[in-house]
Amino acid sequence: MKKAVFSLILSMLTLCVSAQITLEVRADVAVDSIFFSNITQDKEYQFIPYSPYRYIKMNGPINDLYNITFYGSTGKRMNQLWLNGTNVTIKGTFTGRKLEVDTVIGSDLYYKSLDFRNRYDQLKESKADSLAINTFLLNEIKENIGNVFSVEIGQTFFYRNMSRKPELTKLYTLLLHQDVGIRNHLFSPYRKIENILSRDKIDFSTFQFYTPEGKLEELTLSPEKKYLIDMWFVGCAPCIEQHKEILKKLEMLKHDNIEVIGISVDQQQQQWADFLTAKKYPWKNLREVDDYTKKLRTDMLIDSYPTYFLLDGSGKISYRANAFTEILKYLQPETAP
């Protein structure tokens, strides 16, 4: 009886022990405060005063990607670390630009993420072909299928293969074996893959867009044409840079009967309209409405920019990519390196 009571008390005490992260971080610049959260900010969301030695009491288990953001004389600087464990210590230096980690104690997930990234970078630097890289990534996902870090590996595979449905099917089949909690993680590509595999057409009759003049209109496609839809926003540096490449290739696109249509996800109408006036883009530009439920990006699960769609006149998707160079390779495979 005494043993049973003792075991019960011990179990209750164990449940009461909260996970904790200790930051032993020296700052080379003035720092006022630290913001700490898990990536979705649904479990951890804490603003704390800065000190070189700081405890962070967690609201739940440590097993996710975490943001550690420093606020100070150099502004706001965010750092992301994969962490797991119960009592984790992070030692390092905040340089004013980023957190230079010396060591992490109590979390093997941190080092697992570093090891994966190093091996992946080495594989790319060795000029390995797509088959070798895809095989490597799929094997890594298999080995980490029960691990939350697998979502980063899956995301890496997804963005390499987002226009290759046979490859996406391989990843989708693997992710079906994941725990639902991991599969539904913010970083997981599962829902996006499901969307791509099940959707081969965009029905523009269900959407409205703003013109630069602030009027609402529907986008009507012509059956005789093809279209390059460019999803972008004003603050997206890669988007603006790739617009220069689109300008260079605009005649080639017109020769192939492809009309470019820019669809901005900006929320500030005037800022977007002024930007278009300054840039003088010679193609049609529209902006998504402000209702999240009525956005094209919501319907197509778009969360990275730029995103391009090649469509025929019925809205059928022939190709999807995150880089204009990929579109060019698809249109002119004979000139691809």
Shared-domain flag, residues 315 and 222:
yes
Enclosing H/E stretch for 270: helix 269-279
Q: Residue 288 in 3-state DSSP?
A: strand
Domain end call among 164, 198, 232: 198
Domain assignment present for residue 9? The answer is no
Residues 226 and 268 reside in one and the same domain: yes
User: What values do phi and psi take at 323, rounded to 5?
Assistant: -145, 140
Q: What is the pLDDT of residue 334?
A: 64
Site of tokens 């319907």: 299
Give the residue-averaged pLDDT of 245-250: 96
Closest C-alpha to 212, from 277, 121, 131: 277
Q: Does residue 189 sit in helix, strand or coil?
A: coil
Residue whose entry in the numeric block shows the structure tokens 């190709």: 319
In this structure, the answer to whether residues 178 and 283 fall within a common structural domain is no
Q: Tell me the one-letter amino acid at 139.
A: N
195 touches 162 (CB < 8 A): no
Residues 159-215 have pLDDT tens digits of 999 989 999 999 999 999 999 999 999 889 999 999 999 999 999 999 999 999 999
Average pLDDT of the residues in 145-169: 94
Structural domain includes residue 125: yes
Using 50, 70 and 90 to split pLDDT, how confident is the model at 9? very low
Question: Quick one: pLDDT band at residue 11, thresholds 50, 70, 90?
Answer: very low
176 within domain boundaries: yes
Same domain, 33 and 100: yes
Nearest to residue 234, comparing CAs of 305, 178, 299?
A: 305
Kindly state whether residues 117 and 66 are assigned to the same domain. Answer: no
CATH of the domain at 68: 2.60.40.2890
Do residue 89 and residue 121 come from a single domain? no
pLDDT score at 335: 57
State how far the Cα of 210 lies from the Cα of 157, in Å rounded to an integer. Answer: 34
Question: Is 5 domain-assigned?
Answer: no
Report the interhelical angle of 190-198 vs 165-175 (nearest 10°): 130
Amino acid at 162: M
Q: How high is the pLDDT of residue 18?
A: 81
Q: Which pLDDT value is given to residue 87?
A: 95
Q: Quick one: 41 and 122 in the same domain?
A: no
Q: State pTM to two decimals.
A: 0.81
Alpha helices in 80-230 (DSSP H): 108-125, 130-143, 150-161, 165-175, 180-183, 190-198
- How would residue 150 be classed by pLDDT, with cut points 50, 70 and 90? very high
230 and 132, same structural domain? Answer: no
> Which residues lie closer than 8 Å to 139 by C-beta, 6 or more apart?
none
Domain ranges, residue 138: 112-198
Confidence at residue 16, expressed as pLDDT on a 0 to 100 scale: 45
Asked whether residue 183 falls in the same domain as residue 209, the answer is no
- Same domain assignment for residues 177 and 159: yes
pLDDT of 17: 53
Residue where a domain terminates, one of 163, 198, 233: 198
Q: Which of 105, 132, 153 is the last residue of a domain?
A: 105
Q: Are residues 30 and 67 in the same domain?
A: yes
Specify if 98 maps to a domain: yes
CA distance 155 to 139: 14
In a domain, 225, yes or no: yes
Task: Give the residue from 207, 304, 301 showing the smallest Cα distance to 261.
Answer: 207
Where does 173-290 show beta strands of DSSP type E? 209-210, 216-217, 226-232, 258-264, 284-288
Residue for token pair 């996970």: 19
> For the segment 215-241, what is each residue's pLDDT rounded down to a tens digit?
999 999 999 999 999 999 999 999 999
Residue 39 phi, psi dihedral angles, 5° rounding: -60, -35
Q: Please list the residues that pair with 45 across neighbouring strands.
A: 37
- Output the domain CATH number for residue 314: 3.40.30.10
| Total structural domains within the chain | 3
In a domain, 11, yes or no: no
Short-list 201, 204, 202, 200, CA closest to 220? 204
Residue 250 lies in a domain: yes
- The answer on 238 and 145 residing in a single domain is no
Q: Return the pLDDT at 40.
A: 87
